[in-house]
Structure 1
Amino acid sequence: MNSSRGLLALALLFISFLVYQQWEIDKAPKPAVAQTNVTQSSTDTPSSPTANTATPDSEAKGRVITVANDVFRLKIDTLGGDVVESELLNYAQELNSEARFTLLDNQNGKTYIAQSGLVGKDGIDSAAGRAAYQVDGDNFVLADGQNELRVPLTFEKDGVTYRKVFVLKRGAYDVAVNYEIQNNGAAAIEVQPYGQLKHNLVESSGHIAMPTYTGGAYSSSETNYKKYSFDEMKKANLSIDTKAGWVAVLQHYFVSAWIPSQDVDNQLYTSTNNGVGFIGYRGPVTTVQPGESKSINSSLWTGPKLQEQMGAVANHLDLTVDYGWAWFIAKPLFWLLTHIHDLVKNWGLAIIGVTLIVKGLLYPLTKAQYTSMAKMRMLQPKLQEMRERFGDDRQRMSQEMMKLYKEEKVNPLGGCLPLLIQMPIFIALYWTFMEAVELRHAPFFGWIQDLSAQDPYYILPLLMGGSMFLLQKMSPTPVADPMQQKIMTFMPVVFTVFFLWFPAGLVLYWLVSNLITIIQQQLIYRGLEKKGLHSRKK
């Protein structure tokens, strides 16, 4: 296969990939999901399995306190102890903005909060109302030199003291949300913990070149990671019993997730009501005898998709950095990218470094490609003679061609293989740039101040198109078919139009890759000329 047909194949794969990913987001068949066996109430907290009662109006609010460490600032409503806002101190809301990025938010028509509580037979979050916690103070901040901040909220009822304790650690985006229950009453009590994320039912955003997913996801003992979109929530309530696992809401580079205790049986669930969706978990019923104390532990992650930290918090939580089917390529590429960045301190230079390494590893295939193409060029007179000799006898023609290729040690597909191998690498890098929060607002040089966003002046895509046109013109095998000539002429234009909307980092990779290929091509041609295998004449 010559280079022109290889480029056509690459273009077809490229366009098919874009169409497929959009179809997968919008129209892909949804998995069958059993209806939940616990009826979800029409309000904020889940129903108890033993007493299916409604809960109070979701608009009810208590006093809002602030707790903060060095990476985020949380606002907690003392009515129920829900986290109603999370402000990420190390991430700007917009490029060059002083305002910090707010993930959890319950203002200006947006609903995205992390709720938790105790339901069940003696639950303190029920139709009668949410627990109204007491706390000494309004602002709690991790002090310099302090590695842990504990903020207890206290509620008493019928001789039982409930302490909902938030534990923040330095440099960590996960916060422990633990219940300490002291039963000083005369009778045993039964409570069931839950945690859920409440979010407006919104559609995923972006466009065909840069789609972004906003919706649910979960992990269970049977499934390491699976998305569960808001559309799926509207169609069927999730209901999964699992010992391990978590539930989450994804938002491009950021995620919030409830991680229950991993050594007990939990139920993962979803529901929808009045334009909002819920994805959460219920823990097992906990019985506390008179005079007894018990603790119930859980964790809430609300922050960026930092793979190493998330992997340490819960098994498979790092899979929310979703590389799709190309994960086995994307993970080592991201590892390589981060290690090069540690040396050069610039993500654009790191991308160039990755490109150099990838092209270096592919060089043997590239050399084989152009050698094969040169040999194919030398065989053209013999192939033309065969066509004239065998005429319409295609079977005989095919047999003789294969015999000639074998004798001359020529692989007719050798010119296409490197191009096809590049496509999975391109897709892996595409998802790396789409998912890696490290590249968000990461500058390169000059006008490129955000490698995760498109080039604001379209300079890189135009340069990429020019390099592709030059590479095409330098191809050693001319295209004879007039239709193929027209297609190949417009190929750089088509790619340039697509790349106008791609992340600048990805365009940088493709541009540098083309430039390296041009240099490699010239070096290979010179070597072939010395062996008499190549002619520059067209």
Structure 2
Amino acid sequence: MTEIRRTALWVVFTLSLLMLWDAWQKHNGQPSLFSPAPAASVAAASAPASGAALPSAAALPTPAGQAALPAAATAPKTASVQIETDLVKATLDTLGGSMTRVELRQHKDAADPSGHVVVLTPTRSYRAETGLVGVPGAPNHLSVMTLVDGPRTLQEGQDTLTLRFESPEQAGLKLAKTYEFRRGSYVVNVKHEVQNVGATALTAQLYKQLVRDGHTDPTSMFMAPASFTGPAVYTEQAKFQKVDFESIRKGKAEYAKQAQDGWVAMVQHYFVSAWLHTGVGAREFYVKQVQDNLYSVGSVASLPQIAPGATVSASDQLYVGPQEEKKLAALAPGLELVKDYGWFTVLSKPLFWLLDALHGVLGNWGWAIIALVVLLKIAFYWLNASAYRSMAKMKAVNPRIMELRERLKDKPQQLQQEMMRIYREEKVNPLGSCLPILLQMPFFIALYWVLLSSVEMRHAPWVWWITDLSAKDPFFVLPLLMTASSLLQVWLNPTPPDPMQAKMMWIMPLLFSVFFFFFPAGLVLYWLVNNLLSIAQQWMINKQMGVQN
């Protein structure tokens, strides 16, 4: 019976690590162990260079009863302008007044630490666009706009930087876009002003969209990959809805189409771009495939009727930056949900909250992880102590069990009965030693997702050679120490009566260690410290009970 329980425990542990490894492989673009490799994606479509035609405007949302915008007949002549603040370098184009590139100055590129992370990028067709529909021929993201001169760099002592684009008259309407960049913020305030220069009242609709190719960054299997890449829609009623590119291609995308609130976003690992409108008002959401391997997510909202000579305005926010959980939660309801914890959100969120609080005190994420382990060990101290006492008793009676096994090796039924009798007499629960591992596994997996998803720990150093807790240990010191600690735990545990199981008890930690060589250093640090504290507690209990270690 004991052997069966121990075997079952190892099976659960093995399957858990196998599932983690499979998730790691899939998130890094590697084939799953349980499903065939996905078909190769179509090559990413590059954004048109200056002067090239954009995708057909027929791909834009067309509200019920309205005609699609005409496609640009010729390639318009455009220009781009770059602005710079303390946090971003952004490039905007006179073609539609669209934002075409955003470089985050506080975040290093994982592939090239000498450069910065670029979120919106023309090399991979990723743009933030807006325009008008509802009035055929009205200004849209294909209209060539005029850039109003102004400063391009946020100077010392200056808190805001504005950039304004104005369209020519089209279909009786003029559209002006004003971007306001603020010091210390990844939020760009965007104001749209629509002027009716015609002779009749007009009612237009304003769309805001993010257009992106379906490409995901190639990363090595040792780097933390994107937990989800693609569009997302949020409404108070339907909550957070991820829409993967494959569902869009197959026409099976499911999301809220209309609401009185909500926002749209393009999510990628660690970073996100989102159009936010916190005011209440009817809006329509759309997600679609614009062309081969090019996708858009956006929203459409009606503007008030514009009388001749009148102007109406609408204010929105464009966020392009890191998935910093507390800051996102303060911007819009549910925006922090773009930080994907997978199935373990119920544990991952409080774990991150606690880690963040510890980091606020200690000032280092590595020490915060160690402090978290200590707190968890304190919380589970008496439960672990009970389990370790059971293990100590098992080790104490192990010589008697071994003698029985040798004497009754040809009588398995009698052997099992005698073993159970000894366990009852000595009040030993063979299953009691399984409990600590089973209880720790959910926290282990939840912390795995915290480290995988938290941009706060991206490139966060601990000590000496550990310069990035979200990446593997470059010299494998932590995995080697973790392996040694696991083997020491096996030595402290009672030896299984079955010789084959006894060998497996030593082999399994070595096999499991293979996984840890490729896991984030922060996760290995968590497990190593947990092992060391467990060893110390088990050693102490063995001494108290007079069991030889």
Counterpart AA for 1:524: I
- Quote how far apart the aligned CAs of 1:203 are: 4.7
Residue 185 of structure 1: aligned partner: 198
| 1:171 pairs with 2:184 | yes
Q: In 2, are the aligned partners of 1:120 and 1:285 still within 8 Å (CA)?
A: no
Residue in 2 aligned with 1:342? 360
Equivalent runs, 1:87-126 vs 2, <5 Å: 87-94=103-110, 97-107=113-123, 110-122=124-136, 124-125=138-139
Which residue number corresponds to residue 92 of structure 2? 76
Match of 1:247 in 2: 264
Q: Summarize the Cα distance change of 1:161–1:46 in structure 2 as closer, same or farther, 3 Å threshold.
A: same
TM-fit CA distance, 1:291: 4.0
CA RMSD of the aligned region, Å? 3.4
C-alpha contact 1:43 1:58 (8 A) present in aligned 2: no
List per-residue Cα deviations over 1:183-242 (Å, max 9, x = no partner). Answer: 343211221111222122225755777542322222223332232111122111646212
Alignment partner of 1:226 is 2:238: no
Instruction: Return 131-140 or 190-199, whichever deviates more.
Output: 131-140
Alpha-carbon displacement from aligned partner over 1:463-499 (angstroms, at most 9, x marks no partner): 2111111111121x11222332333222122222111
Counterpart of 1:64 (choices 80, 84, 97) is: 80
Q: Deviations over 1:389-430 (max 9, x none)?
A: xx7879x969x95x9978876544321111111111111111
Shift in CA distance, 488/123, structure 1 to aligned 2, threshold 3 Å: farther
SS in 2 for 1:415: helix
Mapped contact 2:99–2:127 kept (Cα < 8 A): yes
Identity rate of aligned residues, in percent?
34
For 2:135, the aligned partner's letter is: K
1:287-326 map, 5 Å? 287-326=305-344
Cα distance in 2 for residues equivalent to 1:89 and 1:124: 36
Q: TM-score, normalised by structure 1?
A: 0.85
CA deviation profile, 1:78-132 (whole Å, cap 9, x unmatched): 221111000111112247833222111003xx21111111122255346xx8232
Query: Equivalent of 1:235, from 250, 254, 258?
Result: 250
Note the C-alpha offset of 1:535. 4.6
Match of 1:9 in 2: 12
Q: 2:164 aligns with which of 152, 162, 165?
A: 152
One-letter amino acid of the structure 1 residue matched with residue 130 of structure 2 = S
1:500 to 510, 517, 521: 517
Paired amino acid for 1:466: A
Change (3 A) 1:505 1:43: farther
Q: Distance in 2 between matches of 1:291 and 1:188?
A: 9
CA contact (8 A) 1:14 1:423 kept: no
CA distance in 2, matches of 1:13, 1:55: 52
For 1:182, give the aligned amino acid: Q
CA contact (8 A) 1:122 1:189 kept: no
Separation in structure 1 between the aligned mates of residue 424 and residue 305 of structure 2, nearest angstrom: 78
What letter matches 2:230 in structure 1? Answer: G
Letter in 1 for 2:299: Y
Aligned equivalent of 2:39: none
Q: Per-residue displacement from partner, 1:272-313 (whole Å, max 9, x unpaired)?
A: 212211122222354212243322222211110011111111
Matching residue's letter, 2:477: I
Name the CA distance, whole Å, in 2 between partners of 1:233 and 1:348.
40
Runs of 4+ in 1 over 6 A off after TM superposition: 23-28, 382-388, 391-394, 403-408
For 2:208 and 2:446, locate their aligned partners in 1 and report how far apart those are by CA, in whole Å: 34
Amino acid at match of 1:442: A
State the number of aligned residues. 514
* TM-aligned CA distance change 1:87 to 1:371, over 3 Å: same
Return closer, same or farther for 1:343/1:84 CA change in 2, 3 Å cut-off. same
Farther-moved stretch of structure 1 (186-195 vs 253-262): 253-262
1:454 and 2:445 aligned: no
State the alpha-carbon separation in 1 of the partners of residues 160 and 440 from structure 2: 47
Q: Give TM-score, length-normalised by structure 2.
A: 0.83
1:18 aligns with 2:21: yes
2:45 is aligned to none
Residues 122 and 191 in structure 1, CA contact (< 8 A), matched pair in contact too: no
Q: 1:362: Cα distance to partner?
A: 2.0
- Unaligned runs of at least 5 residues, structure 1: 29-39
1:410-421 superposed matches below 5 A:
411-421=429-439
- Structure 1 residue 266 and structure 2 residue 269: aligned? no
Query: How is 1:270-285 mapped onto 2 (pairs within 5 angstroms)?
Result: 270-272=287-289, 273-284=291-302
1:485 is aligned to 502
8 Å contact 1:44–1:58 — kept in the other structure? no
